[in-house]
Amino acid sequence: MFEALQERFGKVIKNLTGKGRLTEKNIADAVRQVKLSLLEADVNYKVVKDFIERVKSRVLGEEVLKSFTPEQQFIAAIRDELIGLLGGEQRRLNLVHRPSYIMLVGLQGSGKTTTAAKLAKKLKKEGLRPLLVAADVYRPAAIDQLEQLGKVIEVPVVTGDRKNPEKIVKEAQEIAVNRNHEVVILDTAGRLHIDDEMMEELSRVKELVRPDEILMVVDAMAGQDAVNSAKVFDERLDLTGFIVTKMDGDARGGVILSIHYVTGKPIKFVGVGEKIDDLEPFYPDRVASRILGMGDVLSLIDKLEASMDAEKMKEMESKLKRLEFDLNDFREQLIQLKKMGSLAEVMSMIPGAPSVDAVKGEENMKKALAILDSMTPQERRNPRIINHSRKLRIAKGSGTTVNDVNRLLKNYEEFQKMMKQFKSNRRLLRKFGLNI
Amino acid sequence: MGLMDLLKKGLKKTREGFFERIASALKGSKLDEATLEEVEELLILADVGAETAHEIVEMIKERYREAQDDPLEIAKKVLTEILEGDATISSPEKPPLVISVVGVNGTGKTTTIAKLGYLFKSQGKDVVFAAADTFRAAAIEQIKTWGERIGATVISQHMGADAGAVAYDAVSHAVSKGKDVVIIDTAGRLHTKHNLMEELKKVHRVVSKILPGAPHEVLLVIDATTGQNGLVQATKFKEAVEVTGIVVTKLDGTAKGGVVIPIRHKLGIPIKFIGFGEGMEDLKPFSARDFVEALFD
């Protein structure tokens, strides 16, 4: 995510280092570079123009602090303005009525149906009883799609007569009340914002359910026109926010940096993957930090907490404390890490982490797991018993070479040494957040 | 309705506002810096990208220096030259012609396949659809519905089945039954997903084993609303599966689809079709001249 922007911003900042003071002249090039990088990232042209003006007036104006270096000043200004573009504070769903309605709207192919299922799963996890409504009667098999997704996440789907969106919605209203569903999610058909008739249909559905949330689903890869369609949807339906999808397609940030600024409506969630769990709340400050290559430790912790078993974490921690961390635990760690998502994604959240060859990293991880899986529990508990013939067996079983097995064992040894050193330096560990 | 009218109808929204402004900026005027800057800005707003927009403006400038023609005519010429390419669909010596349709999620692959199938049907050809999107829920039902509507045979398995196996079945069916065209509906995949791109390679490998030279066409579907990410999509898909052409969809919105200009300019992939509506006939072979003319007209 945001690699392109990150890289280009990095260069800009580097070029400013060593400048004594920021002047109109010496920031001219930096400003031009920022402008180009934002444009190449599909940020709307008018948004870029305003953004540049604001950054310029800030760094050249009175708001500059003397104790900052020029590049710090520049970064601070850009970060603040980025957060502003992204919407400032994180904004949650505002579900006040019972039942509460959430309408998902948007252009064709933005990912509404998948998002409806993701959102239902999320709300279910939070203890609510969601109901899904398949009101896309136009795209062939769109209703089947939602029905199938509903089965997977075990959320009921209302399909009504499969023909008339308003009728389907009315039926869903009855079911919601009768069966005590707290929240109803409406999947509507994709439509062009310039299609009057279809937009009118949405207004009628809106009138019918009076939704607490009417969210436009927008493809993160959209270009300059995204703001136009968002503006029209907002004007006609008075949106309460956006969900930006396909953020995992090396999204450049253009859409998320433009739509809030143009409509004044917040981005509430982002879709970050193909799995039904891959919907995350949107945090403007964290995203701004990430765009500037400052990492996003907070999201990393969220991810850790969401994917790791709390009990296991505690167990692991106490094992680390007593230096009892054996290969069984190492294997467990790798399995947990795999659950967190792609390695590249995880690394990108760590500030200053070197950019890894994601594919190679994943392969190495897979290899390590295969090797560990081919060991007996006994061998994992006490790797010292692994002699040459055992190594041969492990290599054969995991489809690797003895060299690979040796490398893994050596890494483990070094890790243990490191832990011993760490133990003698607890302060350092605490710095890493491990309370030992 | 003639082709030009259809194009104009589909591109009407594109033309209004945007290229009209370019046109009025350029028409009969002298080519000064302010005008050029405006042209550059408008190209960026059309998703041409800052870099390519700059190059195009430089080209216009250069041409103008050589011959002080009408700047509008020069601009049209420059854009047409960039976009021109072989838009024909290759035909193998012996049928079936195998077309694989690929792209990221939500660009309109399945609808495009239906329209392509309709196009071939109207030429009197026997069409087979391969339901090789076995990943997305109900994708198989979607292609089946289209198959029924236009009268194409749909070869499918169950959801989660191996995409390569489905493609294999479809091509062998077409070979043994003497069908003319096989169109493979592949799952939408983001170009950043290494494994999925590998899977796509495999589908093509399997097809080429049963019919050497197939797939004869690999069409990448690009959504006209896509920004500069479209260029990355094209780059990555080309690296993986030798894309032979682009289909630009959703040109009936207000998006300009300008990203096809750098795709053609930098990667050399020709644009073969444009899609501009929900109707079955709303897919036309791409013509650079018509496209640019319709934009400026």
pLDDT level of residue B144 (50, 70, 90 thresholds): very high
Q: What is the mean pLDDT of residues A183-198?
A: 94
User: Rounded to an integer, what distance in angstroms lies between the CA atom of residue A135 and that of residue A188?
Assistant: 5
CA distance B190 to chain A (A): 5
User: Rounded to an integer, what distance in angstroms lies between the CA atom of residue A434 and that of residue A418?
Assistant: 14
Q: Which domains does chain B have, with CATH numbers?
A: 3-83 (1.20.120.140), 97-287 (3.40.50.300)
Q: What is the mean pLDDT of residues A272-295?
A: 85
| Residue B6: pLDDT over 60 | no
| Residue A72: pLDDT over 90 | no
| Residue A316: pLDDT over 70 | no
| Residue A246: pLDDT over 70 | yes
How many CB pairs lie under 8 A apart between chains A and B? 142
CB atoms within 10 A of CB A124: 15
| Residue B1: pLDDT over 70 | no
pLDDT level of residue A154 (50, 70, 90 thresholds): very high
pLDDT level of residue B227 (50, 70, 90 thresholds): very high
| Residue B202: pLDDT over 90 | yes
Which is higher by pLDDT, A427 or A402?
A402
**CB contact, 8 Å: A110 with chain B?**
yes
Say which of A42, A139, A358 has its CB closest to residue B228.
A42
Nearest residue on chain B to A113, alpha-carbon basis: B137
Average pLDDT, chain A: 84
CA distance B221 to chain A (A): 12
Say which of B13, B50, B229 has its CB closest to residue A36.
B50
Average pLDDT, chain B: 88
pLDDT at B15: 45
Alpha helices, H only, A44-195: 45-60, 70-86, 112-125, 142-153, 165-178
Q: Quick one: residue A246, left, alpha or beta (phi over 0 = left, psi -120 to 50 = alpha)?
A: left
pLDDT at A435: 42
Q: Which of A108, A114, A199, A345 to mutate to test the interface with B (most CBs of B within 10 A)?
A: A108
Lowest mean pLDDT among A287-296, A365-374, B245-254: A287-296
The three-point CA angle A178-A181-A187 to 5° equals: 110
pLDDT at A305: 62
User: Rounded to an integer, what distance in angstroms lies between the CA atom of residue A51 and that of residue B68?
Assistant: 37
pLDDT at A328: 82
Question: Quick one: which H or E segment has residue B24?
Answer: helix B20-26
| Residue A70: pLDDT over 80 | no
Q: What is the mean pLDDT of residues B281-292?
A: 87
Lowest mean pLDDT among A1-5, A61-65, A156-160, A185-189: A61-65
Strands B271-275 and B283-285, bridge-based pairing: antiparallel
pLDDT level of residue A429 (50, 70, 90 thresholds): very low
Q: What percent of chain B has pLDDT over 90?
A: 66
pLDDT at B29: 63
pLDDT at B22: 65
Lowest mean pLDDT among A174-183, A334-343, B243-252: A334-343
Q: What percent of chain A has pLDDT over 90?
A: 46
Q: Which domains does chain A have, with CATH numbers?
A: 3-85 (1.20.120.140), 100-282 (3.40.50.300), 301-431 (1.10.260.30)
Complex ipTM: 0.83
Chain A residue numbers with beta carbons less than 8 Å from the beta carbon of B192 are 248-250
pLDDT level of residue A410 (50, 70, 90 thresholds): confident
| Residue A184: pLDDT over 50 | yes
Rg (alpha carbons) of chain B, rounded to whole number: 20
A357-377 in b/e burial notation, b at 16+ Cβ within 10 A? Answer: ebeeebebeebbbebbebbee
**CB contact, 8 Å: B138 with chain A?**
yes
Hey, are the CB atoms on A223 and B145 less than 8 Å from each other?
Answer: no
| Residue A120: pLDDT over 90 | yes
Edge-first strand listing for the sheet containing B127-132: B153-155, B127-132, B181-186, B97-102, B217-223, B245-249, B271-275, B283-285
Say which of A45, A143, A246 has its CB closest to residue B44.
A45
pLDDT at B215: 96
Q: What is the pLDDT of residues B212-224, one digit of tens each?
A: 999 999 999 999 9
CA distance B136 to chain A (A): 8
Nearest residue on chain A to B44, alpha-carbon basis: A45
**What is this structure's pTM?**
0.79
Chain B residue numbers with beta carbons less than 8 Å from the beta carbon of A219 are 106, 223, 225-226
| Residue A1: pLDDT over 60 | yes
pLDDT at A433: 45
Hey, are the CB atoms on A224 and B227 less than 8 Å from each other?
Answer: yes
Hey, are the CB atoms on B227 and A252 less than 8 Å from each other?
Answer: yes
Provide the angle, in degrees to the nearest 10, between the axes of the packed helices B260-267 and B71-83: 60
pLDDT at A366: 83
pLDDT at A249: 83
pLDDT level of residue B19 (50, 70, 90 thresholds): low
**CB contact, 8 Å: B232 with chain A?**
yes
pLDDT at A434: 46
Q: What is the pLDDT of residues B48-102, one digit of tens each?
A: 999 999 999 999 999 988 887 888 888 889 999 999 998 889 889 889 999 999 9
pLDDT level of residue A421 (50, 70, 90 thresholds): low
